[in-house]
A and B are shown apart, each in its own frame.
Chain A
């Protein structure tokens, strides 16, 4: 079996730089993506702490109703039909008003992924074996 040589201009191993694509600068309701929005990972679990109040936008209301039970940002994005970064903008509003909370910050999630503890790996293996 032969393996093709990597072409000179093979995009692999190219380091991302300023000319590379980045998530679209999302503007939602006149607000832009904030630093807080970057605290959310696709798999960050979000849960509501309060009911929607009258006067909230339909998007915020729909989102709040969706997180009565823990739900990931990816699922929220899918159910709302919004790009991930747009969903994070809405979520950041609700985080700022303490109407939702996250079960684990992205930093915690990434640290746990980079250096997984044995209990978690064990629970994953056991859980998969039980399926």
Chain B
């Protein structure tokens, strides 16, 4: 699916009135899971959501407010700092009852991770990494760890980004051996789907093995990892 960068207002106008006929879920849909794509500014989160989504990516938003120090409650909402956090998301219908939603968090928003309900309740996360700016992903990984949300790291291969061996990246990101690290091209459907499969196989391995599984140092997901 083409990368869609239309602004939020444009999308709202375009979609007012509800889903198109072809975007309706089957009546039998009853279980939904949430996967979040996190990472630094401009690392390809929106692109990845669009690459795998069966619907044109949508945007949901939340208005976050922060009471400034010493602000009188009676001063009201207007005196507080407000930030609108917009989140791109896409959808994949897996079967007649199960639906996966993929949320791309904003890279430059300071407060998105305080929107309760984005990371909380997520089955897992994809941490997208640009090797030129590894440190951009630290905050997101910290937040995932705090929330106990398992994740895989996907290195988005930009043409001018230096290539590093996976063990080196793993060390630089201070990742435990069990966290899979893969390379990807977020613009590609197959590549983005492989990243999701890597995450789900990782979750499957966690669920089947009581103890942490043996190190999975793979540059790309291998079919033998499949349960």
Measured CB to CB, the residues of A under 8 A from B are 1-4, 6, 10-13, 15-16, 19-26, 41-45, 47, 62, 65-66, 69-72, 74-75, 77-81, 83-85, 103-104, 106, 109-110, 112-118, 120-129, 131
Contacts and interface: CB of A to CB of B under 8 A. Distances in A.
A95 to B, nearest CB: 17
Interface of B: 11-12, 15-19, 24-27, 29-34, 52, 58-67, 69, 77, 81-84, 87, 89, 91-95, 98-101, 103, 110-111, 114-118, 120-123, 131, 134-135, 138-139, 142-143, 146, 148, 162, 164, 168-169, 172-174, 193, 196-197, 200-201, 203-204, 207-208, 226-227
A32 to B, nearest CB: 12
A99 to B, nearest CB: 16
Contact of A3 (B17, B19, B134): B134
B83 A21 contact: yes
Nearest to A111: B121
Nearest to B61: A83
A129 B19 CA distance: 26
Contacts of A80: 16
A45 B207 contact: no
Given A21-B64, A21-B65, A78-B11, A45 B25 contact: yes
A106 B121 contact: yes
A125 B200 contact: yes
A47 B26 CA distance: 11
A75 to B, nearest CB: 6
A22 B98 CA distance: 31
B92 A118 contact: no
B98 A12 contact: no
Contacts of A79: 15-19, 58
B167 to A, nearest CB: 11
